[in-house]
Structure 1
């Protein structure tokens, strides 16, 4: 009996030790996430993403490890939102206006000349953020942070004095607003995402586009085009967002680490964007490009286009758009 009692006690002790070890292992287990993004690893958005991931790992004591996949290496840009929504990736980064056709409010920051400075871009973000968050939540996702690109200008392979000079150009489009601009100026819209732009320029698939100085530097645009008109048309924003099911599986400490790192990334990202605007324009000049403001005639033409696009967007965005613009104008 004594031997049987000892054996039972030993088995029970081993079970408890094993159980405690399992609990300890689970408590210290590392959660791994994938975060696909569309821009090169050298882009300031991608660098900020990596710093964000580093902060998350540090603040969570290694319990949450996020792998950044820049340059559309994991999913192509049009696939990123769907990948996060369906749980194929736990988080993602995307230009907000890429999903404007599905959810019009996401195109608010590409309404030409609505917000043309960083201060105004922040006001527009604050005015539209509650609606954007609500739309994402309805699709099972949570907004983590948002960072703007520098203000958009016009790239071309020839001098542009008026809108008429843009007729017939092969104009790169990446969202509904840029496609519509091409149509209104008589150019040919060609859908090209950032990861494919350098090749499209090299092959002559496109010879003009509207984008930030950063995109021009990333794609070494000076090898194909010679003119950049600093129109300050709008400051489009990238959003970083997470799948709610994945978010819900995090323990409280890891979730706090994620949110704290996101808040820091947003603050840091806006500062990086401001510095990037000047640095990227300097790189364009160094590459041999002519960088200048648009002529009064070209600026006036774009202002008229901006009024047309604003009216069309408000009609499409409905009550959400009207509420966000009204809130912005009160700030």
Structure 2
């Protein structure tokens, strides 16, 4: 009986604490939050995660106290590289972008998802998790905090010319999605071309570029299969991305509200990484016309030709990473980045950085 009474007391105490937390979240003035997240609004990363969990979820969890005004990049004329500056200046409270896209401001970020480094999405998450504290040491000097990471679908080659292997990229103009993918393309004999995501469709259509690198699902969402014929179905990276917040704004939040944001971003992070797995296979299926595997993206009317990697190509990519991509990143980022890589990332990837290569 005594044990039963103790259990009742503990249960009542827990309920009281929970009610107090909810009361703290819902009491007080309204909090208006500006957030800019995905490249387009028709991606599942936006419609299936950001809208229900960040925009609607925060409003529900705080009984309407927190109102998140959510927008995709085009709605605010955002191209990507300026995302950290928007957060730093306080023009937005929360923003999301691929780490490589904003690595011009913080080169350390690019090391989290170097082209050719993470062929497996589970490894990509392990690297992102391990590097988050390191990234935040860099970002906090700018008044920014990385609160969650997430991937897109596997970054693949969409080509308007026939390719049978990576060797066929020699001499081709390839739209890259960041500095390290440029290094990888160069190592393969291709010509890297930098273009904003929204400009690639027209460039492929006109033949300004021969191929473009993006996620299997992302390319589908912006209709790249209309202007390309071949899909090289091996992930070269994951476009690992981050949700960033203005640190001063974050620290000034009511502690209970900040705790709710932390809980929400943890849920978003898990949902987005799960979606990365699903959308990779789904994007390939939709692009090559396999209706039974196409649930998230749009089944194309004119299926692309799926090019599967040759048995030796994974080793070739690993060699390019070791000899070209990794040293080029350290050169851009500084010697400390090589040290960080060996201490934090190499134990996960099994690939060491050797100075002077």
TM-score clears 0.5: yes
Higher relative contact order (CA 8 A, sep 6+): 1
> Relative to structure 2, which stretch is displaced further, 102-111 or 138-147?
102-111
Match of residue 318 from structure 1: 338
* CA apart distance, 1:170: 2.4
* CA apart distance, 1:182: 3.4
* 1:21-46 superposed Cα distances (whole Å, 9 cap, x missing partner): xxxxx964322122123411121221
Q: How far, CA to CA, are the matches of 1:239 and 1:158 in structure 2?
A: 33
Match of residue 69 from structure 1: 71
Q: How far, CA to CA, are the matches of 1:168 and 1:174 in structure 2?
A: 18
SS in 2 for 1:241: strand
Q: Is the 8 A contact 1:153 1:212 kept in 2?
A: yes
Match of residue 259 from structure 1: 262
1:36-115 equivalence runs, <5 A: 36-47=36-47, 48-51=49-52, 52-74=54-76, 75-115=78-118
Q: Is the 8 A contact 1:105 1:320 kept in 2?
A: no
* CA apart distance, 1:294: 2.1
1:107-126 equivalence runs, <5 A: 107-126=110-129
* 1:69-121 superposed Cα distances (whole Å, 9 cap, x missing partner): 11432122111110001111111001011233432321123323432222212
* 1:261-290 superposed Cα distances (whole Å, 9 cap, x missing partner): 111111111111211112111110122101
For the aligned residue pairs, the C-alpha RMSD in angstroms reads 2.3
Change (3 A) 1:169 1:252: same
Q: How far, CA to CA, are the matches of 1:277 and 1:80 in structure 2?
A: 25
* CA apart distance, 1:185: 3.3
Match of residue 32 from structure 2: 32
SS in 1 for 2:117: coil
* CA apart distance, 1:244: 1.3
Change (3 A) 1:195 1:73: farther
Match of residue 18 from structure 1: none
SS in 2 for 1:295: coil
Q: Is the 8 A contact 2:151 2:273 kept in 1?
A: yes
Change (3 A) 1:174 1:235: closer
1:99-248 equivalence runs, <5 A: 99-248=102-251
* CA apart distance, 1:208: 0.3
Change (3 A) 1:162 1:291: closer
> Relative to structure 2, which stretch is displaced further, 113-122 or 75-84?
113-122
Change (3 A) 1:183 1:115: closer
Unaligned runs of at least 5 residues, structure 2: 1-25, 290-299, 351-357
SS in 2 for 1:254: helix
* CA apart distance, 1:309: 0.9
Is 1:304–2:324 an aligned residue pair? no
Match of residue 6 from structure 2: none
Is 1:328–2:340 an aligned residue pair? no
Q: How far, CA to CA, are the matches of 1:225 and 1:279 in structure 2?
A: 18
Change (3 A) 1:122 1:110: closer
Match of residue 17 from structure 1: none
Q: Is the 8 A contact 2:117 2:237 kept in 1?
A: yes
* CA apart distance, 1:152: 2.2
TM-score (norm 2): 0.78
* CA apart distance, 1:146: 0.9
> How many corresponding residue pairs?
305
Unaligned runs of at least 5 residues, structure 1: 1-25
Change (3 A) 1:209 1:71: same
